[in-house]
Amino acid sequence: METIIKKAQILIEALPYIQKLAGKTVVIKYGGNAMISDELKNSVMEDITLLKYIGLNPVVVHGGGPDINKALDKLNIKSEFVNGLRVTDAKTMEVAQMVLVGKTNKEIVSLLNKKGGKAIGLCGIDGNLIECEQYKPDIDGKETDIGYVGKITRINSKVIELIAKDEYIPVIAPIGVGPDGQSYNINADTVAGEIAIALKAEKLMLLTDVEGVKTASDGEVLSALTVSEVHQLIEKKVINGGMVPKVLGCVEALENGVGRTHIIDGRIPHCILLEIFTNKGIGTMIMKEKVLYHSGEKL
């Protein structure tokens, strides 16, 4: 009986969040180990399907680095990275598009459909969904050509809105298109952030392979941060390495109309539900200001 009562208490704890988020858009960047483990794959798909059934509008943006690496290895094409971005020549671009759009995207769509969702796979080429130009990063003070890597110039959000606000779940591969029709590979975190901004999403959720932003002293996960606190932690080197671009992407989204952003550990089963529908969450939530959804929320 105690176990049953606890389950009821969990549902009651979720109620104010369900009420607050009904009809709102949640953009989820799906990647990392959550894409590798079958158990975690199923867990994430169940979470996303449930979000749709209880009245939210989930939009999924996925990566696919491990799948691309495997395909390139089979073709004896060397993988090379600069500043965390894949150097993408013509052959690599062809493989990346084939894998992300033809394999990874359709696997996610199929998994969501098996869970009872109605998923539709898209990439940035469809309806010129993600317009971009070639991105040349600054490396040692010099603009560097790393191939067909895209910098987003425009998100045509109408296609996504039509699908997401109906009964469907958009699943988007991070391939953009240039003005000449050329395809470009784009970082999935970047795509998720820009889509969240374009949709004025209530939430942007980044599934990662870390627990969230941690304190320097005892490694405790910081459950809620404001934009000003993020900048302070970067200055103090508490936030460093690969976490810096993730939190700055969250900050940019918040400054352009997104309600809340979340960095969560995709290795935890049902991480999306635990972050959205519990008072404390499991990862790090970043907001412009600490404004409560309801009085029981613990920030």
Spatial CB neighbours of 58, under 8 Å, sequence gap ≥ 6? 25, 26, 27, 28, 48, 51, 52, 164, 169
CA–CA distance, 277 with 256 (Å, rounded to integer) = 24
Q: Please give the annotated binding residues, written as ranges.
A: 64-65, 86, 185
Detail the residues annotated as belonging to a binding site for substrate. Answer: 64-65, 86, 185
Q: Please, are residues 230 and 209 in contact by the beta-carbon 8 Å criterion?
A: no
Nearest to residue 149, comparing CAs of 87, 68, 219, 234? 87
